[in-house]
């Protein structure tokens, strides 16, 4: 959350009132996860906003990022991660 927990909770409550969605059974309202893949040489970045940080989501982002970089002539030799295995 960009604004901190207290302000984020206020935004979440306001959004729930406006949309009628309380977050139950739906992704947390107001929460998003940005998955970012950066080329170490050129610093060109690929990013996706997702609803979670699960392994399946991260694998999908990486697969799409590799294809995106390949379209631009970048070959992926190895992947370094700062979160999880």
Q: What is the dihedral sign for C-alpha 18, 22, 26, 27?
A: positive
Instruction: Quick: pLDDT tens for 55-82.
Output: 999 999 999 999 999 999 999 999 988 7
Cβ(26)–Cβ(44) below 8 Å: no
Residue 48: per-residue pLDDT: 95
Residue 1: per-residue pLDDT: 43
Residue 73: partners with Cβ closer than 8 Å, 6 or more residues away: none
For 72-84, b/e burial (b = at least 16 CB within 10 A) is eebeeeeeeeeee
pTM of the model: 0.63
Domain ranges for the chain, please list them.
1-30, 32-78
* Residues paired with residue 47 on neighbouring β-strands, in sequence order: 36
Number of Cβ within a 10 Å radius of residue 48: 16
Residue 28: per-residue pLDDT: 54
């Amino acid at each position: 959350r960009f604004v901190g927990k207290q302000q984020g909770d206020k935004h979440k409550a306001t959004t729930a009132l406006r949309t009628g969605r309380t977050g139950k059974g739906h992704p947390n309202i107001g929460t998003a996860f940005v998955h970012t893949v950066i080329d170490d040489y050129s610093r060109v970045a690929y990013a996706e906003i997702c609803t979670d940080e699960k392994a399946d989501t991260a694998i999908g982002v990486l697969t799409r990022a590799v294809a995106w970089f390949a379209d631009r002539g970048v070959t992926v030799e190895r992947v370094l991660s700062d979160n999880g295995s």
